[in-house]
Amino acid sequence: MSIQPGERIPEAILQYVADGVHKIDTLTLFEGRKLVLFSVPGAFTPTCSERHLPGFVEHFDAFRERGIEVACMAVNDPFVMQAWGESQHVPAGMRMLADGNAEFTRALGLEMDASGFGMGTRSKRFALYAEDGVVRELFVEAPGEFRVSSAENVLAHLPG
């Protein structure tokens, strides 16, 4: 079963690149802030690159105007996430987080088996909104769909 609204974010370590590889604990990442974390099955994959990430890039300022930070995550390594972010012109302030071994994805209960596509364990496509480490909204896509986790839908369901 996946994490549900009202539950606390589980603890795990994610990575990102900023003048070298850095680790960040999810408790630190979410603590004391409003954060939308959206996750994609894979960097550089078609829907993720053509629709999902671009929507959050386009609406980044609208989230920030509401005092909400935005982070993108995938079960990829931090160098892939950095390169993908650069190729997609991700704005400064949007973290591109790597969950290389899918530890956080599994802790959330949002993993999927993409072995049939040669991709192993990956994250389902989702977005969650948390305040101070507590999930307030969760948007998980059905397999093969892209609707509820879009930046536009998430913005429409958030406060303020």
Question: Nearest Cα to 97, choosing from 16, 12, 24, 41?
Answer: 16
For residue 159, count CB atoms less than 10 angstroms from its CB and return exposed for 0-12, middle for 13-18, buried for 19 or more.
Answer: exposed
Q: Which residues are catalytic?
A: 48
- Pairing outcome for strands 68-74 and 95-98: parallel
Annotate 11-35 with b (16+ C-beta within 10 A) or e (fewer).
Answer: ebebbbbeeeeeeeebeebbeeebb
